[in-house]
Structure 1
């Protein structure tokens, strides 16, 4: 270190005292402390930038040691500067001399000298969790490391808790031809894991399949834990390897078991990929949206009213007075044609006003995955457990509507609907939840309570048409979701659920509810009509929250 350097950094030392292993008297940290060892990306999509965002998203405190300064953007790499390995070693020792680490993640290392420096440091300071993203082969298939560096990477990988290679990198590590199928890739990973005692995460994103699988092959080989998602039609996939590895390291560092950690990281990344294009960063292969999950959960906790004071006029004199209610977030991408048509001008106005919310439900992560079959089973189980609680309370609200109905036709309809909730729909819940006691015993959640309390209050304390309008979305919007596929495949995991809500009897029930609401709105006072419209829209929003609660 030069004298100038000491002047600029008066506390810097040329040599650090040896560390001695002593019990740490401090309490366990609130967040896992995770170090990324990787190159840079000035556009933020990959390398240390992506790692730090991923670590934060996964619930950790991120740190970074830079191996390479890379001039790149979404179109490609322009230049690379590799600082001396001594500079990297100084960074690593500066961290380990001061900070206890729960996890380390490595990315681009570049040369045998850099890899050796990282290996030397890791052997001197073995972390509790080490996830290695062995950056060896580009997506294009080009080799990124010289021969001796590849050998050094093979040695380094043997120190890892888990490695996260792409299929070409897995082939280089095993000395075999690149896998062409998932089963070939899993077989390669099992051989590597059995030989090295290092877990392998097998990613099938580069295979030409609609379904994407990420599988944890345990150290020593054996049966893996697979997480399945659906391919997203997007070019915003820059940095996905970095991001997955960093998130995985963080969740493992936080104490998650491999199955839980991989499931969290894979599903978080899938959501980040889905929303990456909306960032509008660059004109090439853009980044993923590392922060989407966090913003979604923050929005779910907002105390802002769902409907402003001007969303519905105080008096509804005519259907044209009712305008579409704004939905939170970006404009939905789906159309809003109803699967069950309105039966008159008032129900047509309700649909038009609620169309943004109906489209937001179609676009929601839960419903989209439910319809395409990629929804994780545990999320569906949480949803059904809450739906069982919901239906018990909803049936009471329908019974209250029957008691206050203005005529025999409405009384008979609501009474029959109340019985159907218990007899037909609850049977679906029992058949799914009975073999899953951990879900079946879930208590009622706050989202479910809020919705059912709202419905019961309207059914018991408001004019009949107001309660009927509040109950209508549970009919109408479920038919909309049930119609999300032109035809339900025989092997669809949620086929029974979808068929329940596209069944002709259920569709006829939706029409029955529409007829009652249309008739009663036509003769209601303008003030009561306004209350009914507002509660219809609030119930639509409750439906969106109800579906999404399983992803929170």
Structure 2
């Protein structure tokens, strides 16, 4: 869709805001839709459990549905708690008379405790409802077992197989959710009636903030199906959005039981990334010391100007956390590689410009060699990765890449040697620091072992140390005005480094 999709949640309530229609409305808004709600049940619940459920008369439920559909064109429906057979039949008849293109059903059938929430006749009504109306159904592991009439799966492959059988039998696409299983991952898989399986890998999070995750995921999916190119792309977006929301949930401090997720964590992160406030360029004490030390007081001052602010943010980036753990999605790494290939070409030009302004012959020769030798192994790795995995290297630079290389080339071409050296230094220093961080997690079998080994290798670290030493020498010979300009150029490059690593997660 080119407009904001209008998404209706048909579900129960949660007065603490973490689940039910309250969570659905937040999820729809966070994922780009306009949310509406029809209440099927008034639920007295909090993060510690359900106290009582009041089901309004079926006549009032139909009045709510009539009120929405008589006034608003509904693009998608998310169906959550229906509660009993009468409620299921009421909603089913209404959707039959008012068909909607996208219907995502979260079959609320089994509590976290394992207790069945529906009577046998209501379970059968819900099976019929899914077959008749659902575009996608999003059961957890126990609910998938009830829908399929089998025992609960005990592994993700078994759950995917069970979901495949049910998808073919019911003629509906199934989002198999691995959150109830054990293991280091809580991956999902979208399974079509034709047997296609699209796995979406995500790391398991050790947290108690899981209240309303099923509600939130299904509402997000209903919204993204209308906005993304394919249903698998929508499922991937919704899964990754929820993963980030779960990560941010602990900071909410809501409830004494299983707390809610932070539905708007991603939006705040992207808003911060788009902030156009001028960067701070004053010196401050660094909270994180570099593993590759400064070569003297002037490069130490550079670190305190730029890295003291940008480096802690860089360490916390989800992209680097997922690269380190091996959970980084292949398409995100491919995006990073393609942008890095574009960056390296202009970075080599910047290094050549720095070499041309260097005074001593040995400095000129080193920077010139760095323009080729420091990128040769990296460029080969790009070619290997891009060709071996059929990744598209023929892409345009992103706004972040373009801004970064333009900053480097303009500084190296127009500023003094010391300033140009300071501008290109973060790509040595911060990249090597990141490399050392990643090398700590590198092991045989890591999906990105080659990449992690390159950046954390002794050769790259030695090159970074030499670049720091040359910059220290240039700053020592420069004027106070040049050192001030160098600190500004270094600071901007540090933030561009941070943004360069982060950009795959800003798409």
* TM-score where L is the length of structure 2: 0.95
**Gaps in structure 2 of 5+ consecutive residues:** none
The superposition leaves residues 327-358 of structure 1 with CA deviations (integer Å, 9 ceiling, x where unpaired) of xxxxxxxx723232223233333334413311
Q: Distance in 2 between matches of 1:428 and 1:438?
A: 13
User: For residues 212 and 274 of structure 1, what CA distance do their matches in structure 2 show?
Assistant: 13
Residue 128 (str. 1) matches residue 101 (str. 2): yes
| Map of 1:315 onto structure 2 | none
Residue in 2 that maps onto 1:239: 212
Q: Which runs of 4+ in 1 moved over 6 A?
A: none
1:420 Cα deviation from its structure 2 partner: 2.1
Tell whether the 8 Å contact from 2:27 to 2:216 is kept in structure 1 after alignment.
yes
Q: State which of 519, 522, 527 in structure 1 corresponds to 2:476.
A: 522
Task: Quote how far apart the aligned CAs of 1:189 are.
Answer: 0.8
Choose from 410, 430, 433 the match for 1:457: 410
SS of alignment partner, residue 202 of structure 2: strand
Match of 1:209 in 2: 183
In the other structure, the counterpart of 2:232 is 259
- Of 179, 182, 194, the match for 2:156: 182
Superposed, which structure 2 residues align to 1:67-146 within 5 Å?
67-146=40-119
In 2 relative to 1, CA 96–255 (structure 1 residues): closer, same or farther, beyond 3 Å? Answer: farther
Select which of 370, 378, 381 maps to 1:425. Answer: 378
Indicate if the aligned counterparts of 1:388 and 1:426 stay in contact, CA closer than 8 A.
yes
Partner of 1:35: 8
Q: 1:339 aligns with which of 291, 311, 321?
A: 291
Deviation of 1:421 after TM superposition, in Å, equals 4.6
Over residues 423-443 of structure 1, what are the superposed CA-to-partner deviations in whole Å (9 max), with x where a residue is unaligned? 221111111223566631111
Any conservation in 1 of the 2:139–2:176 contact (CA below 8 Å)? yes
Query: Partners in 2 of 1:516 and 1:255 — Cα distance?
Result: 49
Could you tell me how far apart the structure 2 residues matched to 1:355 and 1:112 are? 61
CA separation of 1:352 and 1:302: change in aligned 2, threshold 3 A:
closer
1:402 alignment partner, SS class: helix
1:7 is matched with which residue? none
Q: Is the 8 A contact 1:137 1:143 kept in 2?
A: yes
Report if the CA contact (8 A) 2:334-2:391 is conserved.
Answer: no
Asked which structure has the greater CA Rg, the reply is 1
In the other structure, the counterpart of 2:431 is 478
- Kindly indicate whether the alpha-carbon contact (under 8 Å) linking 1:413 and 1:512 is maintained by their aligned counterparts in 2: no
Structure 1: gaps of 5 or more residues: 1-27, 313-321, 326-334
Taking the aligned partners of 1:29 and 1:395, their CA distance within structure 2 comes to 40
The correspondence of residues 5-404 of structure 1 with structure 2, limited to 5 A, is 30-159=3-132, 160-220=134-194, 222-254=195-227, 256-307=229-280, 311-312=281-282, 322-324=283-285, 336-353=288-305, 354-404=307-357
Which has the larger displacement, 28-37 or 381-390?
28-37
Q: Is the 8 A contact 2:284 2:308 kept in 1?
A: no
Classify 1:284/1:352 alpha carbon distance in 2 versus 1 (closer, same or farther; 3 Å).
farther
Deviation at residue 255 of structure 1 after TM alignment: 5.7
Cα deviation digits, residues 27-56 of structure 1 (max 9, x gap): x77122211000111221111111111111
TM-superposition CA deviations, 1:399-452 (whole Å, max 9, x none): 111111121232122111101255221111111223566631111121111111
Confirm whether residue 443 of structure 1 aligns to residue 396 of structure 2: yes
Q: Distance in 1 between matches of 2:62 and 2:2?
A: 25
Deviation by residue 1:141-160 (Cα, 9 ceiling, x = unmatched): 12222222222212212121
Give the equivalent residue in structure 2 for 1:502. Answer: 456
Gap change, CA 1:75 and 1:352, over 3 Å in 2: farther
Write the distance in 2 (CA, Å) between the matches of 1:523 and 1:77: 71
Q: Contact between 1:275 and 1:292, CA under 8 Å: does it hold in 2?
A: yes
CA distance 1:461–1:324, change in 2 (3 Å): farther
Which residue among 490, 499, 505 is the counterpart of 1:545? 499
Aligned residues between the structures: 503
8 Å contact 2:106–2:215 — kept in the other structure?
yes
Distance in 1 separating the partners of 2:98 and 2:391? 40
Tell me how far 1:518 sits from its aligned partner: 1.8
- Report if the CA contact (8 A) 2:325-2:441 is conserved: no
Instruction: Name the one with the larger helix percent.
Output: 2
